[in-house]
Amino acid sequence: AEYMGNENCCVSEVTSAFSVLLVTGPRSRELLSLVSLSDFSPEGFRYYTSKEVDIGPVMATAKRLSYAGDLGWELHIPVECTQAAYTAIYSVAEEFSIPLSDAGIYALNSLRVEKGFRAFGHELTADDTPYHAGLGFTVKNSNEFIGKNKLIQIQKDGLKRRLVNFLLK
């Protein structure tokens, strides 16, 4: 743990303590609602929100987002509980005839790229601005932020390059 200044803040490295299961697809809401007592309805679990949920016998932090480009949730689970959560999800899927398949990070990256979702360290670097990445809609110039003047200047000067996706046939 590292303490920052005189504030009451502690930063701890916990990466190896958690695993992430992604439950995504058109029936992901139905599946999670069957394996959990938590509310996964559109009203109860809005996009880009996070909350603690039960997944079978396990507590997890669920995040309503998906790099796969479909309805989905990331389930952040303590490593020692991952097998129990995985088994609970698969058992319910089998019981209710909800097709599931395992996929790794490369499959997820393929879906992400196909959907046009960008990732820092892959398509995006520190040299790219939101405008270069096609993400200018996320910039709110009415707010104050570091780099605001530079972004306003880029808007005035126009782009000399831009990240785009294209399909080769």
Q: Which amino acid is at 116?
A: G
Q: Which amino acid is at 130?
A: P
| pLDDT, tens only, 68-126 | 889 999 999 999 999 999 999 999 999 999 999 999 989 988 988 888 888 888 889 99
pLDDT at site 1:
54
Q: Is 144 helix (H, G, I), strand (E, B) or coil?
A: coil
Q: Is the pTM of this model over 0.85?
A: no
pLDDT band at 10 (very low <50, low <70, confident <90, very high): confident
Cα→Cα distances 138→5, 29, 121, 134, 149, Å:
32, 27, 19, 9, 16
**Helix (H) or strand (E) run with residue 20 in it:** strand 18-24
pLDDT at site 9:
76
Does 28 have pLDDT greater than 70?
A: yes
Does 3 have pLDDT greater than 80?
A: no
